[in-house]
Amino acid sequence: MSSPLFKTVCFIGIGLIGSSLARAVRKHGLAEKLIALDISEKARTAALALSVVDQATDDPAQAIPEADLIVIGAPVGATQAVGEAIGPYLKAGAIITDVGSVKLAVIRDLMPSLPDGVTFVPGHPIAGTEHSGPESGFAELFEGRWQILTPLPGSDQKAVDKVVALWKGVGSEVEIMDPHHHDKVLAITSHLPHLIAYTIVGTANDLEGHMQQEVIKFSASGFRDFTRIAASDPIMWRDVFLNNREAVLEVLQRFTEDLTALQRSIRWGEGEVLQKRFTETRAIRRAIIDAKQA
């Protein structure tokens, strides 16, 4: 039997994404030992009870020195603190990756704490749910989904290859991308839709009492789909917007202009403009289904 890809993997943040990856790593036999390093006692207790990891601690000294691979799955706003906490304990040759939804800010916040001989391979799985915590994770989360990696220039290619092998090993397809480009693409495909969902659901929540009840009662008419996204973790999303500010503001400006143009078409009864736009967007939905990303 061939030896696993990694001996010991440490998951910093054993929440939805961290615990899903830990489950998938175990399922596919990609590591010998799994450790959770998490500040949440509740998460550590649950991860152990669910046998997601072999060991759980809040002390970097108990987890980091033996780790060959460290996966940071804490909210992106915690990256600098995580780096400062683990930096002194990293062993030479260790590989670090992360799953943060923003890449430039994570690189900026982590790199100053990393000693020589350690390779950071930033990453972002395009997979997730609106739930949080280790109880919500599942091993199949990444199967057939994209994993974006944004390796830094001059990185140790063997380390990058091992992180690629990890994600392929859990069933993902891997795309290598520049981190700046990642943040721009995700601003439109993920961050803006979340902002819109938070806004719509917030607007409904501000309506008078009797209207609010009808929003719930008749939610199947479109509102319901926004509420799923708007139920996503508040801390995670606070950190995404604070850490991808420029890209989100740029795409939000374009969106606002397009919304205003549609508003104008409605005001002036320009049915053909509306129909043309809705026909174009329907084709995009069909392309997503064809690409098996629906």
* 113 is a site residue for ligand NAP (CB under 6 A): no
Q: Which is nearer to ligand NAP, 83 or 151 (CB)?
A: 83
CB 53 within 8 A of CB 172: no
Stretch in the footprint of ligand NAP (CB under 6 A) among 99-107, 196-204, 218-226, 286-294:
99-107
Indicate whether 100 belongs to the interface with ligand NAP (CB under 6 A).
yes
C-alpha of 64 from chain center: 23
Residue 101 near ligand NAP by CB under 6 A: yes
Between 238 and 286, whose beta carbon lies closer to ligand NAP?
238
Among 122, 123, 128, 171, the residue binding ligand NAP under the rule CB under 6 A is 128
Question: At closest approach, how far in Å is the CB of 39 from ligand NAP?
Answer: 4
Nearer to ligand NAP, 170 or 282 (CB): 170
Does the footprint of ligand NAP cover residue 55 (CB under 6 A)? Answer: no
Q: Which of residues 224-243 bind ligand NAP (CB under 6 A)?
A: 233, 236
Evaluated on CA atoms 129, 132, 138, 142, the torsion sign reads positive
Interaction of residue 67 with ligand NAP, rule CB under 6 A: no
What is the distance in angstroms between the CA of the first residue and the CA of the last residue of the chain? 37
With binding defined as CB under 6 A, does residue 166 bind ligand NAP? no
Residues forming the site for ligand NAP (CB under 6 A): 12-13, 15-18, 37-40, 43, 73-76, 78, 81-82, 99-101, 124-125, 128-129, 132-133, 233, 236
